Amino acid sequence: MKLVTNLFGEIEFSEDALIFFPKGAIGFEDCRRFVIVDKEDYRPFRGLVSVDDRKATLPVLNPFTIHADFGKELPAELLQRLFSAAEMLDIFCVVNLKNEMGTATINLKSPIIIDHHLKEGKQIILESDNLPVNQPLL
């Protein structure tokens, strides 16, 4: 399958690469099928691209890349699953490339969890008051 995106250009993927979001993502509740784009030129960033609405292209970043203590803010069960050899989970946070002040920020409050075994994703809202929705990227 092929898809043209504003951020990553033309991407090609197989149907087995699709990740299903039963409830969509925050702000994109009607988008249920996504694909993860991992282009070397954009690393450490990746893209979460909706197959249902190609305008729904979310730049994402593993939060541990910028916040080494991020695990302290996660529920214990999720943290254990993230680092389990038996599981195949990824965690990403949405990056806003330019906020109203012209700087890039990351939403640490609402990470996206991808279960590669189930081919399923969900966005959660963490209870911690220590996590901002617009942490500047340095």
CATH number at residue 47: 2.30.290.10
What are the CB-based long-range contacts (under 8 Å, 24+) for 110-114?
Answer: 110/26, 111/63, 112/25, 112/48, 112/60, 113/78, 113/89, 114/19, 114/36, 114/89, 114/90
Q: What is the pLDDT of residues 82-136, one digit of tens each?
A: 888 888 999 999 999 876 666 889 999 999 999 999 999 999 999 988 899 988 8
Q: What is the pLDDT of residues 37-70, one digit of tens each?
A: 998 888 899 999 999 987 888 999 999 998 888 8
What's the whole-model pTM score? 0.89
- Range of weakest confidence among 2-6, 62-66, 71-75, 92-96: 2-6
- Give residue 20's domain range: 2-136
- Higher per-residue pLDDT: 36 or 86: 36
Number of independent structural domains in the chain: 1
